[in-house]
Structure 1
Amino acid sequence: MKSSSLVLGPLVRYVGVDSATFWFELDAPGTVAVRTAVGVVGEARTWGVYGHHYALVALTGLPANTAITYDVTFEDTRIWPEPGATAAVHTGDPVGPVTIAFGSCRRGDNYGEDSLRRIGADALAGLGNRMSTQDPSEWPRALLLLGDQVYADEPSPEILERLHARRQGGQGPDSARGTDAENEICDFEEYSWLYHESWVVEPVRTLLASVPSCMILDDHDLRDDWNSSASWREDIETRPWWNDRVVGAFSSYWVYQHLGNLSPEELARDKLYEAVRTAADDAARERLLADFSLLVDRDPSAGRWSFYRDFGDTRLLMIDSRCSRNLDPNDRAMVDDAEWAWVRERALEGSHKHLLFGSSLPFLMLPALHHLEQWNEAVAQGSWGRTAARVAEKLRIALDLEHWAAFGKSFSDMATLTRELSRSANPPASILWLSGDVHCSYVARADFGVGGKQVPATYQLTMSPFRNPLNLPIRVANRLAIKRPVAALMEKLARAAHVGPDDVHWQAEAGPWFANGVMLLTTEGDSARLRVEHAHLDSARKQILKTTAKIVLAP
């Protein structure tokens, strides 16, 4: 088997009831083909950018609710699976149960003893090891990666060594040399190292070759605190390396993450994808992606990273809560008007038993932190005067006070949408927010004051990190944030800044937890159940998952 042809992948990205897409990075131009045991075959010619070669193969006409084995050839030579192994995917079941695994914040550091001591076992490795002993019918139907799939501003020791060698060799963007970004990822080539480091290691590679994945970006795709405020933008845009970082980040995100979020039908309609595949050469493709990256950074309406997927009667709405922000201090919004109109339309159309909002940032923070962010936004907008506003703006960035509560208009819009859905003629059985980012995990039940007999179960489900644990002082702060006296104190602080009372009430029912882990949500009929799993090392130093909690969200 010519294993060297396959640089990265296959990544099974979209899997529906009768279709699937497979993503590849190869080491040369050529044709990649996916052949299934049910006779369905698809192939695609590679296209190149920055010396890399990619292909996305779409299959249609697959049988529903079926475990389907497949193999991959490149230029008629078999390249996947490894000799003696079997590769399979499981197509969707339009009426049966759906299990979705989710979480965020995963460093790609290796599995050596130093890394295991420093940042612990990897929840995705634990999930992959578990799946290796299971029948495909037991696998999750999807894996949600809710942000910080890569850390451009905090590369691993191994990547940092490569960066230093590249800089010293005179390669890479000149704009980063001798600056505060000298030890950070900057261009497409360097971003590709992060994806290779993170996704090529087993058992994660086989996990991603088996379970379809849904991905959304967060701040570390560019830099910590990305788009936290207008003042942050004003400052970062003065850095000589910023445009190079934008091009590298968005071009690589489009290639490695975004394309796979789209269904075969959406890919067929995507004008940029068509332009990239049919461009005259790699240089033309690079210009297309660079122009798009710079444009979408300055004008989020020029593109959309948000997307949706239906799993039977469960709809997932994945919301871009980073790039599409409105940062005007007098009109802050987590998502701008155009993006929010799209979210509302997707949420209200059709009739779904379960509606899942995927947002890298939690909608419902731990209560004390929620009130702290409300206070900060109000003061930053002038409720305590100009001097206090300047201080609050600095605190917003320094303390990462930039979740939904820090964008009060958007928080209110989401609460209003939830009530609208709850009061509809055929309300969902559950409305759930799946999030990460905060490096702690918790389950919070919310009350939107709807009343009545058929009120959806409404929960914030936050799982973070997959593999990047918090340090001890911040863990202590998060434990305090669920205490009622601390929350009451922060609420009084918000009221002192003229923030009105919330019309949503919630409290953490489980957690917070701080270990590396993953949550698994199962919807079936009107019921929704949650398993909380955390990563451990067994006696043989194998990365495994252990169940921490089982919670019935909707009976």
Structure 2
Amino acid sequence: MSPVPRPEVRPLSAELVIGPVLRRVVGTRATIWVETSAPATVRVFAGPAGGEASTFSAYGHHYAMVVVEGLAPDTATPYEVFVDGARVWPEPESPYPRSVIRTRESDDTGQPVRLVFGSCRETTQHATPRKLPPDALDAFARRLMTGTEPAPDLLVLLGDQVYADIPSPAVKRFLRRRRSHEKHKPANQVVSYEEYTQLYLESWRDPEIRWLLATVPSVMIFDDHEIIDDWNSSVSWRAEVRAEPWWPERISSGLASYWVYQHLGNLDPDQIAADPVYQKVMAAADDATEVLREFGTTVGDPPDPARRFASPRSGERGPEGQEADGAPGYQWSYALDLGRTRLVVLDNRCSRVLDPEHRAMLPPGEWAWFAGLARGDFDHLVVGSSLPWLLPPGIHHLEAWNERLAGSPRPRVAAFAERQRRAFDLEHWAAFQRSFDALAKLFAEVGSSGAASISVLSGDVHHSYVARALFRGRPVATPVHQLTCSPVHNQIQSYMRPVLRLGWWRGPAVAARALARAARVAAPAVRWRRLAGPYFGNAVSTLEHDGRSAHVVIEGTTTAGDLRPVAAVDLTPGAARRPAGR
């Protein structure tokens, strides 16, 4: 690769609005995302390595995804960002350390892997009206700045990175100015693309978070609040929300902005270049608004139930750009490998199959894709799922019972169950029993084939815990765990804490199971026990793989805004770590 010539320093013609955000580091390449105030050429330099990209424009905003090439293996290289020849990063007189791009060894199969994960982050303390505990991600960033611990390989954000339906006071003031002419839209909820940009501007320009996102590679997945609470919980929910006059703009803007701000960076450089949406956007670089509007509308529209199972072959195109198996013609789930660790992050929201006869977390074609990757060559399988697979057992059985009643042919029973589903958010894996059991079966198969560990990383439920799965009727040598870390910066209602604690107790769990059995719900394919938690404060967790060993630490925030360990669990007792000195 020919080096990108370093530009002459010039006055600013366009400013950096958000970023840089370091997304993926793959071998000797890295991707860096930015938003600028005007169309521009963005260049990134990391020692002799570099890359450049022209911005694309949509909805009056301007973005670039720069691929940096030529990085040296096993190095940490400071980098600079130039916009039309003017250096915009690092900022002059910044109090923070230089942002660097860290690469792994050329052959990283024996190198440890560190994943930091969490979910559910409202904006920082000054922007929210509630007295929330300190932000765990802010605290983690401050500690990382001290250089007292190794930087993680990846930051995994598992949903509710922004709250479109519960915005901050600052965003509500912005909405009030607009709603004087938009009476048909909800007064205190984000609807348009421009309104979504305010959420990201507010959240990602938090100084510590800005530095962290510029310094640690990150991947992300949505949960419901990126769009709206209870998103795609049932057929009746979907029918009701589609009748709202503001919904088409909400779903189109929410998914288009998610693609721009979050999903695009989940892809590696080759996947970005091959992404059909990215190709269309770059072909319409002067103004890709209509491309993204059409994309958001199409991918957010539910598949036609009449075509849902029209073909057993995943990926065959059907009418209106949908897959023949009923899935929208775009996949939000993705996967990556780090050393001997495979991470597969699943879409738990957009592509759900809601037809009561075939309810599933993923459509058939996407499930086949996931199952194929889960059977691959690795030591550790990590599944990113915004919603926990294993809930407190009492809660699990209530959700399974509720799903059964919601499918009742008796209208009053079904209506009662639907009301309870929405009121108490009964829509996790337990409320998709086919998918819950299918995941258990898949894990049992993978766990019998020599994998060192299987971990499900989740958030959503505003408390943190570790649980071990125990399989019925068959020996599974591989330890399988649910690792839940939530919230990063939020707070559960006080009345829910005793309910969730009771959910782990044997007595209430047995009673809830009896209720589910009375509704003819089959026993789950696994049972599970809690190893740590529940912890109800703001938290961030670290999962480390070293050789065939796996270890997780959950850290909560103190009143002073520091982190303290609240749980540490060896997930693979007796497993070998890599030899010292390798």
Tell me the TM-score range normalised by the shorter chain: over 0.9
- Look up the match of 2:42: 32
| 1:485 correspondence with 2:500 | no
Q: For residue 544 of structure 2, what is the amino acid of its counterpart?
A: T
| 1:6 correspondence with 2:31 | no
- Look up the match of 1:474: 496
> 1:500 offset after TM fit, Å?
1.3
Q: For residue 552 of structure 1, what is the amino acid of its counterpart?
A: D
- Look up the match of 2:152: 140
Residues in 2 aligned to 1:16 and 1:551: alpha-carbon distance in whole angstroms: 29
Alignment of 1:98-247 (within 5 A): 98-111=113-126, 118-134=131-147, 138-168=150-180, 170=181, 174=182, 177-179=183-185, 181-247=186-252
Paired residues of 2:57 and 2:285 also in contact (CA < 8 A): no
- Look up the match of 2:312: none
> 1:51 offset after TM fit, Å?
1.1
Alignment of 1:42-441 (within 5 A): 42-84=51-93, 85-93=97-105, 94=108, 95-111=110-126, 118-134=131-147, 138-168=150-180, 170=181, 174=182, 177-179=183-185, 181-279=186-284, 281-282=286-287, 285-298=288-301, 299=303, 300-349=327-376, 351-382=377-408, 385-424=410-449, 427-441=450-464
Q: Which shows bigger deviation, 57-66 or 474-483?
A: 57-66
Q: For residue 295 of structure 2, what is the amino acid of its counterpart?
A: F
1:328-381 deviation digits (Å, cap 9, x = unpaired): 0121111111111111112113x1110001000001111100000111111112
1:473-516 deviation digits (Å, cap 9, x = unpaired): 01121111111101111000000000111220101111111101
- Look up the match of 2:481: 459
Residues in 2 aligned to 1:163 and 1:131: alpha-carbon distance in whole angstroms: 36
Paired residues of 1:250 and 1:293 also in contact (CA < 8 A): yes
Q: TM-score, normalising length from structure 1?
A: 0.93
Paired residues of 2:13 and 2:84 also in contact (CA < 8 A): no
Q: TM-score, normalising length from structure 2?
A: 0.89
**Structure 1 pair 277/127, CA: closer, same or farther in 2 (3 Å)?**
same
Paired residues of 2:381 and 2:453 also in contact (CA < 8 A): yes
Residues in 2 aligned to 1:415 and 1:86: alpha-carbon distance in whole angstroms: 44
Q: For residue 245 of structure 1, what is the amino acid of its counterpart?
A: R
Paired residues of 1:125 and 1:544 also in contact (CA < 8 A): no
Residues in 2 aligned to 1:456 and 1:495: alpha-carbon distance in whole angstroms: 29
1:17-73 deviation digits (Å, cap 9, x = unpaired): 322100000111111111012x11100011111111100001233222211111111
Paired residues of 1:447 and 1:506 also in contact (CA < 8 A): yes
> 1:178 offset after TM fit, Å?
4.4
Residues in 2 aligned to 1:549 and 1:280: alpha-carbon distance in whole angstroms: 48
Q: CA RMSD in A?
A: 1.7
Q: 2:562 aligns with which of 544, 551, 555?
A: 544
| 1:553 correspondence with 2:556 | no
Query: Across the two proteins, how many residue pairs are aligned to each other?
Result: 533
Paired residues of 2:220 and 2:266 also in contact (CA < 8 A): yes
**Structure 1 pair 317/280, CA: closer, same or farther in 2 (3 Å)?**
closer
Residues in 2 aligned to 1:271 and 1:500: alpha-carbon distance in whole angstroms: 42
Q: 2:26 aligns with which of 16, 31, 34?
A: 16
Q: For residue 353 of structure 2, what is the amino acid of its counterpart?
A: N
The gaps in structure 2 that reach 5 residues or longer are 1-10, 304-326, 574-582
The gaps in structure 1 that reach 5 residues or longer are none
Paired residues of 1:25 and 1:52 also in contact (CA < 8 A): yes
Residues in 1 aligned to 2:125 and 2:496: alpha-carbon distance in whole angstroms: 25
Residues in 2 aligned to 1:370 and 1:106: alpha-carbon distance in whole angstroms: 25
1:279-318 deviation digits (Å, cap 9, x = unpaired): 1631xx1111111111111234310100011111101000
Q: For residue 156 of structure 1, what is the amino acid of its counterpart?
A: S
| 1:503 correspondence with 2:525 | yes
Q: Which shows bigger deviation, 64-73 or 520-529?
A: 64-73
- Look up the match of 2:467: 444
* SS across alignment from 1:119: coil
Residues in 2 aligned to 1:531 and 1:280: alpha-carbon distance in whole angstroms: 44
Paired residues of 2:232 and 2:352 also in contact (CA < 8 A): yes
Q: Which shows bigger deviation, 60-69 or 393-402?
A: 60-69
